[in-house]
Amino acid sequence: MLKGGFGKSVFANTLGGVLGDLRDHDVLVADLDPAGHLSTGLGYYTREDADALDLGDVLLDDTAPEEIIKHPGYGFDFVPSLNLETVTEDLARDSVMASDMRLKQDLVDPLLGDKYEYILFDIPGSRNKLVNNAVVAAPNAILPLKPVPEALNGMRETATKLVGEIRQHIDFEILAVVPNDLRARIDQQTKDRRLLEAMNTQEQFAAYLLAGRDGVDPDSGTIPDDVDVEAVLDNHIPPFARVTADEWDAIDAGEMAPPKVPIRHSAAFGDAYEDRKPVTAYDSECSQVRYFETLAKIIEQGGIQQ
Ligand SMILES: Nc1ncnc2c1ncn2[C@@H]1O[C@H](COP(=O)(O)OP(=O)(O)OP(=O)(O)O)[C@@H](O)[C@H]1O
Ligand SMILES: [Mg+2]
């Protein structure tokens, strides 16, 4: 998401733990945000250190990726955020196309399928050269959305300015769009309901998900007549967060108990951060972890429906 604070870093951290620790895959997580929140949350200092080897040495020099990989010990390996402002500036000086391919060529291609089964990138909330590199290197995204008034605008920005554009060049998939940090009831007009109902019923939201595909205009919300909106939403919203139009009617008619849709607000995420661990290592009993297992399975099978 080209938007701060929706849960990108929490998702990268937790999915790293679920895929690597609970599901026993070989996993690398890389923090591509100069702010380094994920690195801090795993106990790595993110102060600038011009002498240390960093991602820039891998992308713009001959350093092997193994040399910058750390081992936090929570089931996944980790590339911390270090000197990324400089790395981004250096990439921007490079010729345009080549500079978007570097992360794929110098980090993903040598490691994926060989040393690691999965490589996850945590990106910043605004577009830069490293974000371009990330979408080329890992063209499969999980998008968290928080129930705040700017959520749908964040989705629009991401669809029009990133997804639509990148799909002109590569086959980019949104594996899942996931509501996060929910805590209100949904049988009343709460922020949670506004987000969940919009994403689960609006043709406009389907158009965001399909941005860049033939005949789709995410700005006006137009999608081709032969595309089934319900199927698009079924394919992008995990079953635990899917509430269909008929179900909203049933909830409002009092015929169906309003579900407590995940992913819920949980103090465990902040507490794990303070303890410098992913939530899987801090509190594997945390009730929300099982939904990240669902997301991990979606990652494993390459989408919601095989
Ligand atoms: N389900 C949740 N329950 C409780 N707190 C959460 C939840 N998800 C995220 N948070 C908290 O919300 C804040 C923002 O989350 P996070 O840092 O993951 O967002 P982000 O998208 O990475 O933001 P940025 O773009 O600034 O890096 C953090 O303090 C995090 O602990
Ligand atoms: Mg973050």
- Is residue 305 situated within a structural domain? no
Number of domains in the chain: 2
- Same domain? For 268 and 245 the reply is no
* Residue 306 located in a structural domain: no
Give residue 47's pLDDT.
Answer: 79
Ligand 1 in reach of 194 Cβ (< 6 A)? no
d(CA 14, CA 28) in angstroms, rounded, equals 13
pLDDT tens digit sequence for 180-210: 999 999 999 999 999 999 999 999 999 999 9
Ligand 1: residue whose CA is nearest its atom 10: 7
Query: Are both 165 and 17 inside the same structural domain?
Result: no
Interacting residues of 215 by C-beta distance below 8 A, sequence separation 6+? 222, 223, 224, 227
Q: Is the CB of 298 under 6 A from ligand 1?
A: no
pTM of the model: 0.97
Q: Residue 122 C-alpha to ligand 2 middle, in angstroms?
A: 7
Ligand 1 atom closest to Cα of residue 10: 18
Given strand 27-31, what is the order of strands in its sheet? 77-79, 27-31, 118-122
Q: Which domain holds residue 206?
A: 147-180+183-261
In the DSSP assignment, the letter for residue 70 is B
Percent of the chain at pLDDT above 90? Answer: 93
Is the Cβ atom of 292 under 6 angstroms away from ligand 1?
no
Residue 133's Cβ-count burial label (10 Å; 0-12, 13-18, 19+) is: buried
The CA distance from 104 to 120, in Å, is 12
- Which pLDDT value is given to residue 3? 86
